[in-house]
Each structure stands twice: as structure tokens, then as C-alpha cells.
Chains A and B, each alone.
Chain A
Amino acid sequence: MAISEKLSPPKVVPDPKRPSGPARRPDQKRFAGPARRRKIALVMWQLATAVLILLVWTLVYASGYFSPDLVPPFWDVAVRFVGLAVDPVFWAALAATMSSALVGLALSIVVGVPVGMFLGITPAFYRSTQFLIDLGRSFPVIALLPVMVLMLGATREMEVVVVFSGVVWPILLQTIYGARRIDPVIADTVRSYRIPMGLKFFKVVLPNAAPFAVTGIRIAASASILIAVGVEVLSLTPGMGGNLARAQTDGAPALALAYVIYSGLVGLVLNKILWLAEGRFLGWNRRVTGGGQ
């Protein structure tokens, strides 16, 4: 079961035991605001890296080694990128993709967390469903798409169904894992004091499982966007992915790349929000154990 939590994206938690190279130098303390200074230097380096990437991009474009369909000049992409921000078509596509992803996510939370809790506290049911869960987890849901398109058509409902069947697994697995992983000392204490079932559930099992479930939800949230975009790319359902695939076939690779960049930003922002929300509501846990990892 330790497998499941490895799926979570690596966190950027500053490790207090290992400060970065320059921080170790004691003479740095003599400067006024060394932290701020380092921060500025870091941002400068990052800007330089961005410039370098654009430079390499331009060189690759100019060399003509790749077709301009794959590597359009970055200024074209920049123009499209800015153009999309004021384009109502883009905002409609973003809303469509987000709503399918979030509805699918909400459904899988509603199903995944209670079922996970139940399986977590009943070992017999857990053992019986283990194989089924393993099958479901390793099933590439996107393969269901052609069948789903035939059954439900290239519609929003179909997209929600596919997103749901893809993201319910991490939530389920993490919740089961959290509910099962109770410190043996606590389990013994609960038994010794004959703490009633209901009280045990709400005061021991639930708080114990919550951080894990939330981690599962965070993994699922990023995955839901990925699946929604993937479904749209293949079925041309309206949304970011659909518009992107159509832009490519219409011979506008710069527009398609601008959509790719936006979809990356959406994923990044969503992950950040969830990370902050997790810290806010379950901060007690992150301080103690390092975030249910």
C-alpha cells in the first residue's frame, strides 16, 4: 500500500536540516538582509534561464531542423497567448474543461472517501476488493474512450464519466491507506479503554485518514485536468483539449502551443491552491508528520 502515496508529486518543502549551499557560509551574516539578496539573485538567474530557453527555442526554429509545425517561433506563441487572454472562446473552453474536471473530481470524492473509509475499517472487505482495486488503478481509463463515445457520444457527461473512473482510484487508495494506518499504541489504547465504535470512528479513524484522503484528492485534482484535456483531444469535445487539437489540424501550431501553456498554468495554479488549502485545514498534521506522506 505504500505504493499509492509515492504517486503524489514531490513537494517543495524546505528541509531545515539542509540549507542551500551559500546559506552555510557564516560570513554571509555580515551583509544586510542576505536572505533578500539571495532571493533577488535567484530571481535574476531564473530570468536569465527563461531568456536562455527562448534563445535556444529561436535557434532551433531558425536552424529549420524541426518543421515549423512542431516548433513555431516563440513570438507567434506569445502573440497567441496574449490574444487568448482576451478571447471569449478561450474562457468558454477553460470553463468547460474545468467544470468537467471538477464535477468528475467531486463525484469521485463523494464515492471514494466513504467507500475508502469503509474498506479501511473492515479488513475482510479490504482483502476481497484488493484485486479489483489493483485492476482498476492500473487500468488506463482513456482506453475506455472509444467505447464511451459510442455509448454516450462526445458529450460533457461522457467526459465526466471518464474523469470519474480515472481519478476515483487515488482517492480510494489513499483513504483506505489512511484508515488502516493507525498507530498500534493508539489502537491498543482504544481497545483497553473500550472506546465505543462511533467515538473511535470520529475521533481516531477519521482524523487519522483525513490527511491521506486530502493527499489523494490533491493527486486526483491534477489528474482530473490531465484526463479531461486528454479526453477532449481525442473526442474533440469542446474545451481546452478540443480547441487545441482543432488548432493543430487547422494549421495553427502557435495557437495550439498557447493552449498547452495555459493548460500547464491551470494545473500549476490548481495544485498550488490545493496545497495551500491542505496546509490551512490540515496544517496541524503537516507540522507533526510532514503532510500525511
Chain B
Amino acid sequence: MSTILAEAPKQLGRLLEQVWLVAVLAAAWWFLSANSTSVYFPPLSKIMQSLVSGFTTGTMMRDVVFSLSNILIGIAVATVLGVAVGILIGELERLRQVLDPFLQFVRSVPQSALIPIVIGALGIGQAPKIYMIAFACFWPVLLNTIDGVRSIAPEVRDMAKSYRIPTTLRIRRIVLPAALPQIVAGVRVSLAVGVVIMVVSEIFSAVAGIGHYINMAGSSFDISGAWAGTLLVGALGYLLSVSFILFEKGTLRWYFDSAALASHGRIKTTRSRRKAKK
């Protein structure tokens, strides 16, 4: 108890150190814009009012739900497909070599360039947006999974082969856990990609969603509404990435622990052996 009390001021200091700048900037924005008459920089108080009224009387709540469900479904689909295909390609070295130039090309295509084509062909509803997010998020997951599968130490592979561990067991107990850190990294990248595609597809053309809200506010010269939507998207992007990092810390605790102890391959070997024994 006494140690907690002793630690408290230190932690408070650290917290203050992290938030003071943001607080100062936010306060500066609030007070400097308070009497702003500029059309483009409305007072922050007014932006906040728009945000509150957007939630209470406007469509903001529906828009947030729409956007969030799109991105979550899209990423879930992309993760399942990306991991499955990635393990297949990563395990079959020859297939990977053949597909490599194609994968490199698809990765370089700006995903947002496909949005006009997909929306133009399939309409402005919800499904094409989910397809787009899933398609764009598929590639980072796929490429990272391939990398993760390939990074398994050759000794581990040889060991699995010597013991004639059946393929399904090998994939579940060796390949998947070994590739997991890379897969999670891929999902984190695809989260950022997904948020961009979500917003772009909604701004391009939609019936709901935060991007749609920003666009409607912007085109009707409701600047404080557009700012409110923009801030909301920023907050949403931040919250998504923070909650993912928390999730990652939970699922990959064993990895972060082991990385501190030794190189990956060895720890994974002992781990998978221990698991196989059970």
C-alpha cells in the first residue's frame, strides 16, 4: 500500500507530462477561435455544439454505427481470408515465388482508385463499401501472414517433419502461433487502411456514414458540422488503434515476454513442444 502511495506522484507527473501539450493546444484553439468570425475556422465551442447536436438531434449516431459496422465486418472478412490464403502461400514456397510479382503489383495499386469503379458498378449501398474495405485490408494481412509463415526457423520445420506431425496439427500448433505476431501486425496495418477506405468510400458517395456526414455538411457550407465530423473521425481512428493495441498486448503477451528472453525461433520451438505434449 505504501509503495502505491509513493508511486502515485510519480505516475501523476508522467501523466501530466504526456497530456499537458495536448491540453495547451486544445485550450489555445478554444480561446483563439472564440471570437473567430472566419467562415472556415469557426469557434471550437461551435464545433462542439455541432457535435453534440449531431448526436442528440442529428444522424450522427446512425452514421457512426454504419461506419463502424462496415469497417469491422470488412476487417473480419479480410483477416479470415488473408490468414487462410497466406498460410497456403507461405507454406508452398514454389507457389509464393510464382505469385510474388503479382502480389507486389496488387499491393502497389492505390486501393482508393478502385472506389469509383466498385461504387459506380455496384451502387452506393452498404455492401459495396464492405467489399471495398475487405478487399483493401486483405493484402496487408495476406503479405504479413506469408512473411510470418516463412520466418519459422528451419529447425522447427525439420523437427515437425521428422516427427511426422500431421499437417492440420502442424498448422494449428506451429505455423499459426509462429506467424501470429506478424499476422497481428498485418491486421494493425489493415486497420489504418480500412479507416481510410471507409472514409473515402463514404465521402465519394453514400447514404450514411461519418464520411457522408462530413461531405453533406461541407457541401451545404455547414463548416462547423464538417469540422465536427472530421474531429469525430480522428477520435474514432485513434480509439480503434488504441483498442487494437490493447487487444494485441493481451493476445501476444507470451510473444513480448519471450522476445525479451531469447530469439523467436527457439522460444517457439519449446513452446510448441510443450503444447504438443499436453
Q: Which residues of A contact B (CB under 8 A)?
A: 3, 6-7, 9-10, 12, 15, 17-18, 20-22, 42, 45-46, 49-50, 53, 66-67, 69-70, 124, 127-132, 134-135, 137-140, 142-147, 149-151, 222, 225-226, 229-230, 233-234, 240-241, 244-245, 248-249, 253, 256-257, 259-261, 263-268, 271
Contact = CB atoms under 8 A, between A and B. Distances in A.
Nearest to B128: A70
Contact of A127 (B14, B105, B107, B146): B14
A69 B116 contact: no
Given A143-B211, A233-B115, A268-B105, A20 B93 contact: yes
Interface residues of B, number: 73
B212 to A, nearest CB: 10
Contact of A21 (B93, B107, B185): B93
A128 B199 contact: no
A140 B233 contact: yes
Contact of B17 (A9, A21, A124, A150): A124
Interface stretch (B29-37, B57-65, B94-102, B162-170): B94-102
A134 B238 contact: yes
Contacts of A256: 116-117
A6 B200 CA distance: 24
23 contacts: A3-B188, A9-B143, A12-B104, A127-B14, A138-B240, A139-B237, A142-B199, A146-B214, A147-B40, A150-B40, A151-B40, A230-B196, A230-B200, A241-B113, A248-B116, A253-B121, A256-B116, A257-B117, A263-B113, A264-B105, A264-B108, A267-B109, A271-B108
Contacts, number: 195
B238 A234 contact: no
A267 B105 CA distance: 8
A221 B52 CA distance: 38
Contact of B121 (A42, A67, A128): A67
Given A233-B113, A259-B113, A260-B109, A143 B20 contact: no
A130 B238 contact: no
Contacts of B188: 3, 6
Given A3-B188, A147-B227, A253-B120, A135 B234 contact: yes
Given A70-B118, A233-B115, A9 B107 contact: yes
Q: Which 8 A-B pairs have the closest CB atoms?
A: A267-B108, A70-B121, A146-B218, A264-B109, A230-B112, A69-B121, A143-B233, A6-B185
Contact of A20 (B18, B94, B115, B204): B94
Given A264-B105, A268-B108, A138 B238 contact: yes
Contacts of B18: 127-128, 130-131
Given A124-B17, A260-B117, A264-B105, A143 B234 contact: yes
